[in-house]
Structure 1
Amino acid sequence: MTDPASPPSTPGTPPGAPPGAVVRGLLRAADRATLATTLVAGAGGDAPPAGGWPYASLVLMAVDHDAAPLLLVSTLAEHTRNLQADPRAAILVDGTAGLDEPLTGARATLLGRFARDDDPERRARYLRRHPSAAGYAGFGDFAIWRMTVERAHLVAGFGRIHWMAADAVLGEPGLPLAAREADVVAHMNEDHADAIQLYARVLLGLDGEGWRMTGCDAEGADLRLGGRVARLPFDQPVRDAEAARIQLVKLVKRARERAGG
């Protein structure tokens, strides 16, 4: 039997990574999640008259630089009204897509509390991840909500099950790169679109033309083409924009060597 302490890799996570890194890799790679909240009493319509029922909904998700979940939600939505009454929630991220045996893949549930967050950089990060959301993000009923993660539960195949505290999952907050991320992403998209295409085609094995970078954090970069997203991992973590530039240059050189070979 495979060692349960060595979960399988996920996008952007090396084989044999510790469970917390696997969860963080799932979070960084995901663009959607299942949100579970507690239904409030008197929700209206045909909802149960008494509160307390679990309520699950599909949400588009981005993550903060430390991988804490970010949602853009409307006060008109059931899940937002639920969070206003009880901020406790669970987020399920699923890394099993495309597997012949989904139950052998990694998925993680995070427990924590959501609160509205009006930080403009987090809002911008979410909208880069989900550019179509710009069409409604300005409506008065929409706002970014951020999860303060308390615990996580990873299931990464049969016998690979781990509970862990938030500090085992989340990355280091407040890195200098966060303040320069928008500049890095804009520079890559405007001046190095060919490099992004090489990352996607050669290093990640993805087809299609027009891939764009939507984010850059300590552990890698996020790419998007239409409704498809991809994760480009760095060889080693970075702390600032210059270190990220070095990693991006290194990766494009690797892609060119492989393409030429």
Structure 2
Amino acid sequence: MRDKINPIRETDDEARGLARELLTAATTAALGVIEPETGAPFVSRIAFGLGPEGEPMTLVSDLAVHARALRADPRASLLIGESGAKGDPLTHPRLTLRASARFFAREDGRRDALRAAWLGHHPKAKLYVDFADFHFVLFDIAGGLLNGGFAKAYALDSNDLRVT
């Protein structure tokens, strides 16, 4: 019997750099959560950005299914990276993150800094960022998997993904 080939390469500076580029450039992400009512996976597209300390974040409304799901179970998965206009979509780099969500209350002392960072990424959000049902959520990254294209898969830990 032949030995199985491990498709995951040793993580190097090039992989770390590509993962950080994807995080920095992203304005949207696919968010995977567990739907509290059914226990089933649920995926939605969210606006995405980096906080003042480089931490992944989003702005969510209490009306969204994914907001209720994250309050019930903060475990989440994020998929970052867009397929290009041409070619096979699976050849374009993408980053999957395992994370835990933290909601910030309006009274939290960091809200002003989060708001400023968010509006730097999403200036049109100025229309609704201060609505009472909207909250900032930061994602504490446990690790992830970078697919940098054909035969370029890397396992990353939270230190590999730190954007400063």
Q: Which TM-score applies when normalising by structure 1?
A: 0.54
Q: Structure 2: which amino acid aligns with 1:39?
A: E
After superposition, the Cα gap between the structure-2 partners of 1:85 and 1:38, relative to the gap in structure 1 and judged at 3 Å, is same
CA distance in 2, matches of 1:125, 1:99: 32
Per the alignment, residue 131 of structure 1 pairs with: 123
1:121-200, aligned counterparts within 5 Å?
121-172=113-164
1:1-261, aligned counterparts within 5 Å?
17-41=13-37, 51-117=38-104, 118=108, 119=110, 120-172=112-164
What's the CA shift for 1:5? 5.4
Whichever structure has more strand as a proportion of its residues is 2
% of aligned pairs identical? 30
After superposition, the Cα gap between the structure-2 partners of 1:169 and 1:163, relative to the gap in structure 1 and judged at 3 Å, is same
The number of residues matched between the two structures is 152
Stretches of structure 2 that go unaligned for 5 or more consecutive residues are: 1-7
Aligned CA-pair RMSD: 2.0
CA distance in 1, matches of 2:134, 2:90: 35
Whichever structure has more helix as a proportion of its residues is 1
* Cα deviation digits, residues 38-94 of structure 1 (max 9, x gap): 0011xxxxxxxxx21110001111112453211010111100000000000011001
Give the 3-state SS of the residue equivalent to 2:155 in structure 1.
strand
CA distance in 2, matches of 1:150, 1:99: 32
| Structure 1 outlier segments of 4+, above 3 Å | 4-7
Give the 3-state SS of the residue equivalent to 2:98 in structure 1.
strand
Q: Which TM-score applies when normalising by structure 2?
A: 0.85
Give the 3-state SS of the residue equivalent to 1:56 in structure 2.
strand
Higher radius of gyration, 1 or 2: 1
**Higher RCO structure (Cα 8 Å, ≥6 apart):** 2
What's the CA shift for 1:17? 4.6
